[in-house]
Chains A and B, each alone.
Chain A
Amino acid sequence: NAGVTQTPKFQVLKTGQSMTLQCAQDMNHNSMYWYRQDPGMGLRLIYYSASEGTTDKGEVPNGYNVSRLNKREFSLRLESAAPSQTSVYFCASSEYNREYYGYTFGSGTRLTVV
């Protein structure tokens, strides 16, 4: 089925460890996004890539880095995990400047930092 695939689905990290969250979409979308979802905070944009070859900071980029590997793939890296990064992470994609068609979201990665 066409869509956005995120891996892993669950992860537990120790403080200071690093990891990369993977995201791939097969809808030929140009734009991709990483969000975190926390109770009472809604969805907060971490980083986005409007098109292949570009990345930009969102609302809460500190502690994260991203790589737009190609048109399909957009990864999120935590270099030194902190308990404050415990959250559910969602990747999404859309057509460039056609977001009125809606975003397509992955099923999420539940990350716990202890």
Chain B
Amino acid sequence: AQSVAQPEDQVNVAEGNPLTVKCTYSVSGNPYLFWYVQYPNRGLQFLLKYITGDNLVKGSYGFEAEFNKSQTSFHLKKPSALVSDSALYFCAVRDMGSGGYQKVTFGTGTKLQVIP
């Protein structure tokens, strides 16, 4: 079974400071990893993904994420936070699998609050 954990319900950061939203995962094989963002009263929007290759993945709106296989982590980062980054962030994982249909499992979400 695959799973993903987001240990922080909420992260507060001052505008202009770097931010990190943590995610750890568990899969039996190799993972596909994702970050999604949800703004109030909206559906989730795809932010970035790790499939293979470079451990540092760049995505939309200046976000990036670092894949660490030994620590089974995929933390979301941004060098300088904006107030407009305030939203709910979801990490997700899918086992690459050996064939057949594979679903994606989502974490419980982390609320990011950027303080002006």
CA distance A68 to B42 in the complex (A): 24
Q: Nearest CB to that of B9 among chain A residues?
A: A40
9 A-B pairs with CB atoms under 8 Å apart are: A4-B43, A42-B106, A96-B101, A99-B94, A99-B104, A103-B44, A103-B104, A104-B46, A107-B42
Residues from chain A with Cβ under 8 Å of B109 in the complex: 42-43
Contact A41 B103, CB 8 Å, known A105-B45, A108-B43:
no
Residues from chain B with Cβ under 8 Å of A43 in the complex: 44, 90, 106, 109
Q: Does A62 contact B (CB under 8 A)?
A: no
Interchain CB contact (< 8 A) of B42 among A42, A97, A102, A108 = A108
Chain B interface residue count, CB cutoff 8 Å, equals 22
Binding site for A on B (CB under 8 A): 9, 32, 34, 36, 41-46, 49, 51, 90, 94, 101-104, 106-109
Q: Does A61 contact B (CB under 8 A)?
A: no
DSSP class of B's interface residues: helix, strand, loop or mixed? loop
Indicate if the CB atoms of A107 and B43 lie closer than 8 Å: yes
Indicate if the CB atoms of A100 and B94 lie closer than 8 Å: yes
Most chain A beta carbons < 10 A, residue from B42, B94, B108 = B108
